Amino acid sequence: MNNSEINAYMSEWMRNVAEVPVVMSSRIRLARNLNNHVHPLMFPSEEAGFRVINEVQDALPEMSIQRLDMMDQQSKYKLVAKHLISPELIKQPASALLANEDESLSVMVNEEDHIRIQAMGNDLSLHSLYEKASEIDDKLDKALDISFDENLGYLTTCPTNIGTGMRASVMVHLPGLSIMNRMNRIAQTISRFGFTIRGIYGEGSQVYGHIYQISNQLTLGNTEDHIIESLNEVVQQIINEELQIRDQLNEHNHSETLDRVYRSLGILKYSRLMNMEEASLRLSDVKLGIDLGYLELEHFKFNEMMIAMQTPFLLDDEDDRSVNEIRAQILREHIN
Amino acid sequence: MNNSEINAYMSEWMRNVAEVPVVMSSRIRLARNLNNHVHPLMFPSEEAGFRVINEVQDALPEMSIQRLDMMDQQSKYKLVAKHLISPELIKQPASALLANEDESLSVMVNEEDHIRIQAMGNDLSLHSLYEKASEIDDKLDKALDISFDENLGYLTTCPTNIGTGMRASVMVHLPGLSIMNRMNRIAQTISRFGFTIRGIYGEGSQVYGHIYQISNQLTLGNTEDHIIESLNEVVQQIINEELQIRDQLNEHNHSETLDRVYRSLGILKYSRLMNMEEASLRLSDVKLGIDLGYLELEHFKFNEMMIAMQTPFLLDDEDDRSVNEIRAQILREHIN
């Protein structure tokens, strides 16, 4: 698997990102529904779903469309890898994805809600992402009859999304806090402020590579700006704690941290079998080593490697080797 | 630490040994005592010890002598590393080592017994080692009054050595049998034939790098030739079992074995902290990989690496780094 093949699993906006510590990406997601259609989970027929897709497509002519019923399995998985669609969208009989050119702006049609607008970026830029998502929202609002209640706000399929319909989230790499077993305390603290911390693929998903998604739990009774401002503060606080604990590791556990980083590099370069959990942790160690200045690896991109190590599952498989064998090979080739 | 420094911890006969599987070295040791002296552990004064040393030295003028009371700590430890003397010999107030040029033949004076003749070689050559040791034995017998009983044979300080006074031993590398947890069964089996299996440094010592010493337990009621013949058979049987189990590992656990070997190589090349137990196991894995044809490492000598990884303890220490840090560096430099 070469770099161009890995690029098939990455959106344009994800590429050539500067390697900075902690923040990996941000996302704003707005859930919207249409008044004159039943909820996607209640569609009586595929046609009901296609009617929604057509209406949304007409409202956003500048975006390209991919209808999932016309795609092969491989192509759908690529969209999941890019975080453009959820695995749930694949299960829907009539669903689609609209996206702009670099895929930083997209709209899922007929997931749990009729419309889910997504704006993604590779730094902590929630306000500007919200503005971009709002532009799409405004266009849809002009063209379509969006479900909105004067008291409650936007109406959604799941009550946890009612109100702003907004989920703001930031993906952060927290090796220091993870190694020092601080994540439980942090999860407890931020939940008191209405935020939640989860794995890479959202709710209930496993944590890989010490990467966490921090997002708002509450969508009701607060303005979008206020939610974003609070999340920014929470994330900034976590960034500070992470950087502090890295300083401590570097100062008081220097040999152990150096050893941890270099061992993981050696194992990535030499192992012949590697499961996904170990791969993610070894990559996390190497990224920590780069951030701490222990290592310089010109071509190492943490987000690319995290995607590369997931690709064995996505390969057309005429290969009779195990997934862990293929993963080890991909990692060896990419880390050298 | 460069190669010439490591060579200071190796005898001439240990160097430039071909890398073969399993058998690392063989040794014959003969325990003898003098009639007209009390046992070394009972010496009333240092002078009593020096008198024994002088008698032995006079009987073996062709051998060079090192008196331990005239040596610094470092030099004594080098002799221990070379297996020329036991740690016990260092504790004696008046003790010495006599040796031929390549140190394959040597005599410890005033360890537990007055005289311990040792012949060492790097293959399974117990008969010829016994012949070499016997030549020294004959010279001593002509010049000195050796304790010998017509019924019991040679008399020794510890009753377990009475009779032939001979300990024949073979050092074997058994990674396959160790990985597959067969060592307990093998130890039980061979003990029924009067043999015992131990770690590198003899009785009660820890096993490092899957290297074991197999030797006769009984010295009484058997001829030397018969003991050696039985030990040869036992060792040959263990070699066969080890090679069989390696074939199985290679055939039925190919990926896992390859992964094990390459991971250990990667860790040896990259780690920054390494304790002695782990180092020995990683080196054992790499040696297994070479034996199985997975790896070619031109300059890798298993016995040299096993000695190199022990040297941090032996260094004059103005270095404020930990022993595990120094060991990791020595291994990195020698494996590349």
pLDDT tens digit sequence for B214-249: 999 888 888 999 999 999 999 999 999 999 999 999
Predicted confidence (pLDDT) at residue A151 exceeds the cutoff of 80:
yes
Rounded to a whole number, what is the distance in Å from the CA of B262 to chain A's nearest CA?
A: 5
In this prediction, residue A110 has a pLDDT band, given cuts at 50, 70 and 90, of: very high
Predicted confidence (pLDDT) at residue B2 exceeds the cutoff of 80:
no
- In this prediction, residues B177-194 reach a mean pLDDT of 93
How many Cβ atoms from other residues are within 10 Å of residue B227's Cβ?
24
B266 Cβ under 8 Å from any chain A Cβ: yes
Rounded to a whole number, what is the distance in Å from the CA of A65 to chain B's nearest CA?
A: 44
Mean per-residue pLDDT of chain B: 91
- Residue B202 has what pLDDT? 59
Poorest-confidence range of A6-15, A123-132, A272-281, A282-291? A6-15
- Residue B119 has what pLDDT? 97
- Residue A160 has what pLDDT? 85
Rounded to a whole number, what is the distance in Å from the CA of A133 to chain B's nearest CA?
A: 46
Contacts of A256 in chain B (CB under 8 A): 273
Rounded distance between C-alpha atoms, residue B144 and residue A229, angstroms: 96
Residue type, A208: Y
Most confident of A295-299, B197-201, B279-283, B320-324: B279-283
Contacts of A325 in chain B (CB under 8 A): 255
For the annotated binding site of A for ATP, the residues are 25-29, 83, 116, 167-171, 198-203
pLDDT tens digit sequence for B128-155: 999 999 999 999 999 999 999 999 999 9
Contacts of A262 in chain B (CB under 8 A): 270-272
Poorest-confidence range of B81-90, B91-100, B236-245, B286-295? B81-90
CB of B105 closer than 8 Å to CB of B130 = no
A286 Cβ under 8 Å from any chain B Cβ: no
For the annotated binding site of A, the residues are 25-29, 83, 116, 167-171, 198-203
- Residue B222 has what pLDDT? 85
Rounded distance between C-alpha atoms, residue A106 and residue A120, angstroms: 9
Rounded to a whole number, what is the distance in Å from the CA of A330 to chain B's nearest CA?
A: 14
- For chain A, how far is it from start to end, CA to CA, in angstroms? 14
Helix or strand (DSSP H, E) at B203: none
Query: Annotation-wise, does B327 bind a ligand?
Result: no
Q: What is the 3-state secondary structure (H, E, C) of A71-135?
A: CCHHHHHHHHHCCCCCHHHHHCCCCEEEECCCCCEEEEECCCCCEEEEEEECCCCHHHHHHHHHH
- In this prediction, residues A259-279 reach a mean pLDDT of 96
Coil, helix or strand for B82? coil
ipTM: 0.84
Predicted confidence (pLDDT) at residue B1 exceeds the cutoff of 60:
no
Question: Quick check: B266 and A266 CB within 8 A?
Answer: yes
Place of tokens 């993870």: A178
- Residue B171 has what pLDDT? 94
Of B124, B52, B134, B55, which is closest to residue B94 (Cα–Cα)? Answer: B52
Listing DSSP states for B134-196 in one string gives HHHHHHHHHHS-B-EETTTEE--SSGGGTBT-EEEEEEEE-HHHHHTT-HHHHHHHHHHTTEE
